[in-house]
């Protein structure tokens, strides 16, 4: 007679490391800024749910500035990993966003679209495989579904005089009037 225990605890070791590079390039006098961050993951577990996987992931980002207007976009490749203390392997889809906006004198108006071509409500696909028990499940939610936002904000300077340089590019910062 055999007994199946539904315990997802992996009694072995967990090893996860990555090697990555982050590169930023500015083109056309700083109007176009690109960032690229590839990472090579090495993951291995031992124990009941022993698993190993090597994976290359990447995040890319572009910003384009035209006067007070900007366009921003990013993309992240799909991911796959095993949870730290269990044998559940999770797969997440790619993610991406595009945003357009305008900023001047403390005002910032923007509209963005996140995962605009993703119509599914699937967040994660999870699998567990062992000698006597296995499952495949799909988690549903809003994390990877398409969504759209419109934002209007105004930054108020108070206390000491603050410097506004180029708020939409993120290169200008306002010194704290409280902590000085």
CA angle 94, 99, 102 (to 5 degrees): 165
DSSP 12: S
Entry pTM = 0.72
pLDDT by residue, tens only, the chain of 180 residues: 665 556 666 667 778 888 999 999 999 999 999 999 999 999 888 877 778 889 999 999 999 999 999 999 999 999 888 877 778 888 989 999 999 999 998 899 999 999 998 888 888 899 888 777 788 999 898 888 899 999 999 988 665 555 554 444 444 444 544 444
In DSSP terms, which residues pair with 1 in a beta bridge?
Answer: none
Dihedral sign of CA atoms 25, 64, 117, 114 in order? positive
**What is the C-alpha separation between 79 and 168, in angstroms, rounded?**
30
């Amino acid at each position: 007679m055999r007994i199946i225990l539904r315990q997802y605890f992996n009694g072995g070791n967990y090893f996860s490391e990555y090697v990555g590079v982050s590169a930023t390039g500015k083109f056309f006098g700083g109007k176009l800024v690109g960032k690229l961050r590839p990472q090579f993951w090495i993951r291995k577990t031992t124990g009941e749910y022993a698993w190993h996987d090597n994976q290359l992931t990447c995040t890319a980002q572009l910003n384009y500035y035209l006067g007070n207007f900007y366009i921003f976009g990013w993309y992240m490749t799909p991911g796959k990993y095993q949870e730290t203390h269990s044998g559940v392997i999770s797969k997440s889809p790619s993610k991406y966003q595009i945003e357009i906006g305008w900023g001047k004198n403390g005002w910032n108006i923007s509209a963005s679209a996140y995962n605009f071509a993703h119509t599914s409500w699937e967040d994660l696909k999870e699998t567990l495989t062992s000698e006597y028990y296995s499952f495949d499940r799909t988690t549903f939610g809003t994390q990877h579904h398409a969504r759209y936002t419109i934002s209007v904000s105004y930054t108020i300077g108070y206390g000491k005089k603050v410097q506004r340089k180029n708020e939409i590019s993120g290169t200008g910062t306002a010194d704290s009037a409280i902590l000085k």
